[in-house]
Chains A and B, each alone.
Chain A
Amino acid sequence: MSWIRIRELARKEFIQLFRDKKNRPLLIIAPFVQLLVFGYVLSTDVRDVRVGIIDQSRTRESRMLRDSLEANQTFRITHYKDHPKELEEILLRRKVDLAVKIGPDFSERIRRGDSSPIQILADGSMSNMASVKIAYTSLVLDKLNQNLIRELYHQKMDYGKIDARIRTWYNPNLESRNFYVPGIVAFLVMLLTLLLTSIAIIREKEVGTMEQLIVTPMKPYELILGKTIPYIIIALAHMIAVTLFAIFWFHIPMVGSAFLLFFAICLFLLSTLGIGLFISTVSSTQQQAMMTTFFFFIPFFMLSGFVFPIASMPTVFQWLTYLNPLRYILIIIRGIFLKGVGLGVLWPEFLSLMVLGLIVFASAVKRFRKRLD
């Protein structure tokens, strides 16, 4: 193995990469743009729910209900209406997210000690959001119920015997950003290495310089190393920049070991570089390489648990996720960022990532031949 050869090839690769002015913004700005877009846009948190309300009761009790909705920072009553038709209209036109209807006999029933129904309408066309909003509303009403009961029955009374005090660990405020942003590191590293390594090799084939490399004594693995090392360095630089940005800009808690994260990304790179090399062996033009990259990338993304939970997938697809390096790295990244766990807990994922990486990389190298036919 000749280190000079590998060094000179890597050096040449860097010169070419940065000499092309079009590449610079792509390499430096693109990751941050993606991080910002993902960080701000990709959120399943429910905030600022606009509520339209009909209060046909207009009593102290109905005002209590309105107040307790408004006291919760999630809700904001934006429309007061008189007719149920009007309420439906504003829900339909998406002027409000939730419509609440309080009947005329609301207070009387409560004072009688009966239960008093109210109607809550939510827009089910956004099913995910609707269920979250309804759950939030139930929480508010639950609290109100407890207060009303205490008020009605003056004697000391506990509301039920089980007092569940729920604490969500590792992400106490259930910020969806904390869940998504760390995963973007893996997503960016994968896209970058898949695309850049395959294109770096295909470009040489396209312009004819590969032929000139083949007549040199350079060994196939030296060629592979020289071609991948620059992208390993760039990927790791991106990883560090993106991680720091996630921590200091998005205030994502990073409780685990940065070194372990670095090590995990290195293992992950083995798979992505292997797939990149594989793409370079099956494509003959840069365009083909690009198409093939996306052919691989979309299923990897969908079957990773990055956005769509693996547990909700049909069984067959759940099996497929075991072949996906992105699955393991996401578990590792979230574990390290949010839970601060180490190898003691994450070793199955580290092991899977390593085995998968070695297999993918070795078979890509085996396919990679130093001849043109």
Chain B
Amino acid sequence: MTGLGSDVVYVKDLEKRFGRFVAVDKISFSVKKGEVFGLLGPNGAGKSTTIRMLCGIITPTSGYGRVADHDIFYEAEGIKHSIGYMSQKFSLYEDLTPFENIRFYLGVYEVPPEQWKDRIEWVLDMTRLHDVRDRITRELPPGSRQRLALGCALLHRPEILFLDEPTSGVDPITRRHFWGFIDHLAGEGVTVFVTTHYMDEARSCERIVMINEGKIVVTGSPSEIISEVFPDTPDSDLNDVFIELMSGRDS
């Protein structure tokens, strides 16, 4: 049942219903190791639901899925050492300092205490939060908080990083930095699974799956998708594709 050996995420006919509402409607795709993979779609398309099923936060209704060689139905706990997750909403402790947040997640992920000092330095360097390490997180600007959240998701050196709309509400400069960092991570072999509705960000992904109303609309690399949807106008971009596919279907 498993996909190819190099697939770190493999999903087949995955479905999630909330009562009568079908949030994710039998989608299938796979993500290769070390890839930057983008899950695109408008608000309410089922992006967050998909990512949350893959991370073991919610249980799928039916279908099959594997993440880091563990079944998402039966071995959800096994996945958790291998993944990092950053939710759409800032979800660290706002009443703790960055240092206390980092320390807490080091403990939770069972990083051996003798490595804590180095790991804390590494994360504070990477997130450029050295100066504010003892300030209350609530008082930090959104960009710093977002870097802290990313830092905490990477503390245990996960193989796969799940990012649910990581750059919503963040200024363009921080977004640029952020994507530079994502490329750097991918270069180190980390698989990055990201959802977004910013099409300029989607360009940075190696492969994209676009979904709408719980269904997959199109799959491929950004350039493949553009030439598939607009074979005759080579100067089109992903924005045009997105608008074409997401609004065109309804009419």
Asked if B108 lies at the interface with its beta carbon under 8 angstroms from chain A, I say yes
The smallest beta-carbon distance between B122 and chain A, in angstroms, is 19
Chain A, 89-136, CB within 8 A of any chain B CB: none
Asked whether A8 lies within 8 Å of B108 as measured between CB atoms, the reply is: yes
Chain B residue contacts of A78, Cβ below 8 A = none
Chain B residue contacts of A19, Cβ below 8 A = 95-96
Asked whether A372 lies within 8 Å of B57 as measured between CB atoms, the reply is: yes
Given A7-B107, A15-B100, A217-B77, are A371 and B55 also a contact pair (CB < 8 Å)?
no
Asked if B247 lies at the interface with its beta carbon under 8 angstroms from chain A, I say no
Asked if A364 lies at the interface with its beta carbon under 8 angstroms from chain B, I say no
Asked if B233 lies at the interface with its beta carbon under 8 angstroms from chain A, I say no
Docked pose: A8 CA to B93 CA in angstroms: 13
Asked whether B110 lies within 8 Å of A4 as measured between CB atoms, the reply is: yes
Interface-located stretch among B28-36, B83-91, B127-135, B174-182: B83-91
Q: Which of B89, B95, B108 contacts A218 (CB 8 A)?
A: B108
Docked pose: A4 CA to B81 CA in angstroms: 16
Given A208-B87, A211-B57, A211-B87, are A5 and B110 also a contact pair (CB < 8 Å)?
yes
- Chain B residue with Cβ nearest A369: B59
Asked if B105 lies at the interface with its beta carbon under 8 angstroms from chain A, I say yes
The smallest beta-carbon distance between A209 and chain B, in angstroms, is 5
Asked if B225 lies at the interface with its beta carbon under 8 angstroms from chain A, I say no
Q: Which of B55, B59, B96 contacts A215 (CB 8 A)?
A: B55
Asked if A16 lies at the interface with its beta carbon under 8 angstroms from chain B, I say yes
Chain B, 40-83, CB within 8 A of any chain A CB: 52, 55-59, 76-77, 80-81, 83
The smallest beta-carbon distance between B181 and chain A, in angstroms, is 20
Asked if B125 lies at the interface with its beta carbon under 8 angstroms from chain A, I say no
Q: Which of A12, A208, A213, A216 contacts B89 (CB 8 A)?
A: A208
Asked whether A16 lies within 8 Å of B93 as measured between CB atoms, the reply is: yes
Asked whether B59 lies within 8 Å of A371 as measured between CB atoms, the reply is: yes
Instruction: Please classify how large the interface on chain A is, using the bins under 10, 10 to 19, 20 to 34, 35 or more.
Output: 20 to 34
Chain A, 203-233, CB within 8 A of any chain B CB: 207-209, 211-219
Asked if A279 lies at the interface with its beta carbon under 8 angstroms from chain B, I say no
Asked if A2 lies at the interface with its beta carbon under 8 angstroms from chain B, I say yes
Bitwise, A178-222 to B at CB < 8 A (1) or not (0) is 000000000000000000000000000001110111111111000
Chain B, 91-108, CB within 8 A of any chain A CB: 91-96, 100, 103-108
Asked whether A9 lies within 8 Å of B87 as measured between CB atoms, the reply is: no
Asked whether A217 lies within 8 Å of B81 as measured between CB atoms, the reply is: yes
Chain A residue contacts of B105, Cβ below 8 A = 216
Docked pose: A351 CA to B102 CA in angstroms: 44
Asked if A163 lies at the interface with its beta carbon under 8 angstroms from chain B, I say no
Chain B residue contacts of A214, Cβ below 8 A = 55-57
Chain A, 6-22, CB within 8 A of any chain B CB: 7-9, 11-12, 15-16, 19-20
Asked whether B77 lies within 8 Å of A219 as measured between CB atoms, the reply is: yes
Chain B residue contacts of A370, Cβ below 8 A = 77
The smallest beta-carbon distance between A302 and chain B, in angstroms, is 37
Asked whether A217 lies within 8 Å of B104 as measured between CB atoms, the reply is: no
Chain B residue contacts of A372, Cβ below 8 A = 52, 57-58
- Chain A residue with Cβ nearest B152: A212
The smallest beta-carbon distance between A19 and chain B, in angstroms, is 6
Docked pose: A15 CA to B95 CA in angstroms: 9
Chain B residue contacts of A218, Cβ below 8 A = 108
Asked if B113 lies at the interface with its beta carbon under 8 angstroms from chain A, I say yes
Q: Which of B59, B76, B87, B106 contacts A212 (CB 8 A)?
A: B87
Chain B residue contacts of A216, Cβ below 8 A = 80, 105, 108-109
Chain B residue contacts of A219, Cβ below 8 A = 77
Chain A residue contacts of B85, Cβ below 8 A = 212, 215
Docked pose: A4 CA to B92 CA in angstroms: 19
Docked pose: A215 CA to B103 CA in angstroms: 17
- Chain A residue with Cβ nearest B81: A217
Asked if A373 lies at the interface with its beta carbon under 8 angstroms from chain B, I say yes
Asked whether B57 lies within 8 Å of A371 as measured between CB atoms, the reply is: yes
Asked whether B59 lies within 8 Å of A5 as measured between CB atoms, the reply is: no
Q: Which of B52, B56, B58, B91 contacts A209 (CB 8 A)?
A: B91
Q: Which of A2, A5, A20 contacts B95 (CB 8 A)?
A: A20
Docked pose: A207 CA to B138 CA in angstroms: 12
Chain A residue contacts of B110, Cβ below 8 A = 2, 4-5, 217
Asked whether B56 lies within 8 Å of A371 as measured between CB atoms, the reply is: yes
Chain A, 349-373, CB within 8 A of any chain B CB: 370-373
Chain B, 105-126, CB within 8 A of any chain A CB: 105-110, 113
Chain A residue contacts of B84, Cβ below 8 A = 215
Docked pose: A305 CA to B56 CA in angstroms: 47
Asked whether A16 lies within 8 Å of B109 as measured between CB atoms, the reply is: no
Asked whether B91 lies within 8 Å of A217 as measured between CB atoms, the reply is: no
Asked whether A209 lies within 8 Å of B109 as measured between CB atoms, the reply is: no
Chain A residue contacts of B56, Cβ below 8 A = 214-215, 371
Asked whether B83 lies within 8 Å of A215 as measured between CB atoms, the reply is: yes
Docked pose: A349 CA to B92 CA in angstroms: 44
Known: A15-B96, A212-B87, A212-B91. 12 other contacts (CB 8 A): A7-B107, A8-B103, A8-B106, A8-B107, A9-B107, A16-B95, A208-B87, A208-B91, A215-B84, A216-B80, A371-B58, A371-B76
Closest 10 CB pairs of A and B: A8-B107, A208-B91, A215-B85, A217-B80, A212-B91, A373-B58, A216-B108, A208-B89, A215-B55, A12-B104
- Of the A-B pairs whose beta carbons lie under 8 Å apart in the complex, a sample of 5, sorted by A's number, is A8-B107, A8-B108, A9-B108, A208-B91, A216-B80
Give residues in A with beta carbon < 8 Å to B: 2, 4-5, 7-9, 11-12, 15-16, 19-20, 207-209, 211-219, 370-373
Give residues in B with beta carbon < 8 Å to A: 52, 55-59, 76-77, 80-81, 83-85, 87, 89-96, 100, 103-110, 113, 162
